[in-house]
């Protein structure tokens, strides 16, 4: 069974990705990516596939996965303890970013052992999962700095769990059968990253990738969990957020710099992403102090 490569995009204004999935069911999506991943699944019961391991899982399923380790969860069974949806908290941490922390800070020496064990996947006790759940819930509405601090609190809880155990078998080459299209995905995503403030068209990218337009749309959706339009909009809004809090540029200029064709479209898209207007977003973050305008 071939695992699909997934390109992970950092959360705007962050160096890593945090997301809460609220799902009616958890589909089988056998995939891998180059990031470390902390995954907490709540209100759900089903099967968990990690490397060569297939196990049943229950509420408060907490695992830590190393880079390029194939995985998926699959469930249609709700527990109804927390509502009418499955909840999955995901923190995806760039490999070099996290390993640099572990290798350069004596305070994080114990993190190195966890990173080594994660090559096989590590599962944690329910007690640790409950503590981590409290932090993950707080992360949802937290600003990037607070979320970063809570991430390391979660890592501390993982390191301290004496009942943690590895998941997949020793010595198996889990990279066998990886999706050979990963290099193509990297090339396409990198092109989008370099040109997202320009007037990008799906047909243009499809030609660049030697695909039909329909195939290109499916390709992007499968590998980023976003449509082409959603992906470009997220990148543009992320850049706009940075300019709003780190410069004194007028909002109309920021809109133009970030690739929006008019200020009305920018305001509408920004509000859809952030539930705030650009001016309200700037005011909110500047009111916290400590931001120097360029």
Beta bridge partners of 83: none
Element containing residue 41 per DSSP (H, E): strand 36-42
Q: Residues 113-133: pLDDT tens digits?
A: 999 999 999 999 999 999 999
Q: CATH no. for residue 250?
A: 1.10.10.60
Greater pLDDT, 287 or 129:
129
Look up the domain containing 228 and give its range.
182-286
Question: Among the residues of 67-143, which ranges form H helices?
Answer: 95-104, 109-117, 126-139
Q: CATH no. for residue 104?
A: 2.60.120.280
Question: Given this model, what pLDDT does residue 181 score?
Answer: 55
Let me know whether 189 and 231 are in one domain.
yes
- Interval 44-49 mean pLDDT: 91
Let me know whether 141 and 202 are in one domain.
no
pTM of the model: 0.69
Let me know whether 153 and 222 are in one domain.
no
Q: Residues 55-71: pLDDT tens digits?
A: 899 999 999 999 999 89
Nearest one of 20, 18, 53 to 37, comparing CA atoms: 18
Let me know whether 106 and 28 are in one domain.
yes
Let me know whether 159 and 76 are in one domain.
yes
Contact between 150 and 139 under an 8 Å Cβ cutoff? The reply is yes
Contact between 161 and 186 under an 8 Å Cβ cutoff? The reply is no
For 87, other C-beta atoms within 10 Å of its C-beta total: 19
Q: Residues 171-188: pLDDT tens digits?
A: 344 444 444 456 677 678
Let me know whether 200 and 277 are in one domain.
yes
Q: What are the DSSP E strand ranges found in the chain?
A: 4-5, 17-23, 31-32, 36-42, 44-50, 53-57, 61-65, 71-78, 86-93, 122-123, 165-166
Contact between 267 and 237 under an 8 Å Cβ cutoff? The reply is no
């Amino acid at each position: 069974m071939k695992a699909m490569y997934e390109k992970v995009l950092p959360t705007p204004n962050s160096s890593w990705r945090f997301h809460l999935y609220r799902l009616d069911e958890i589909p089988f999506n056998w995939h891998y990516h180059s990031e470390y991943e902390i995954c907490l699944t709540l209100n759900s019961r089903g099967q968990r596939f990690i490397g060569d391991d297939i196990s049943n899982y229950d509420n408060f399923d907490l695992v830590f996965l190393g880079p390029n380790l194939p995985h998926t969860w699959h469930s249609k069974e709700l527990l109804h303890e927390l509502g009418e949806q499955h909840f999955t908290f995901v923190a995806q941490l760039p490999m070099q970013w996290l390993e640099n922390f572990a290798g350069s800070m004596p305070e994080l020496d114990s993190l190195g052992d966890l990173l080594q064990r994660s090559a096989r996947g590590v599962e944690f006790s329910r007690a640790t999962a409950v503590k981590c759940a409290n932090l993950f819930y707080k992360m949802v509405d937290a600003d990037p700095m607070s979320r970063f601090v809570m991430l390391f609190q979660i890592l501390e809880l993982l390191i301290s769990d004496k009942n943690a155990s590895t998941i997949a078998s020793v010595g198996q080459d889990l990279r066998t059968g990886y999706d050979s299209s990963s290099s193509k995905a990297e090339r396409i995503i990198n092109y989008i990253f370099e040109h997202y403030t320009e007037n990008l068209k799906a047909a243009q990218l499809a030609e660049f990738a030697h695909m039909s337009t329909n195939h290109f749309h499916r390709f992007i959706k499968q590998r980023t969990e976003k449509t082409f339009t959603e992906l470009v909009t997220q990148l543009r809004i992320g850049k706009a957020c940075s300019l709003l809090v780190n410069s004194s540029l007028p909002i109309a200029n920021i809109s133009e710099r970030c690739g929006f064709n008019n200020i009305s479209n920018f305001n509408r898209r920004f509000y859809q992403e952030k539930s705030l207007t650009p001016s309200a977003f700037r005011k909110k973050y500047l009111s916290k102090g400590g931001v120097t305008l360029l």
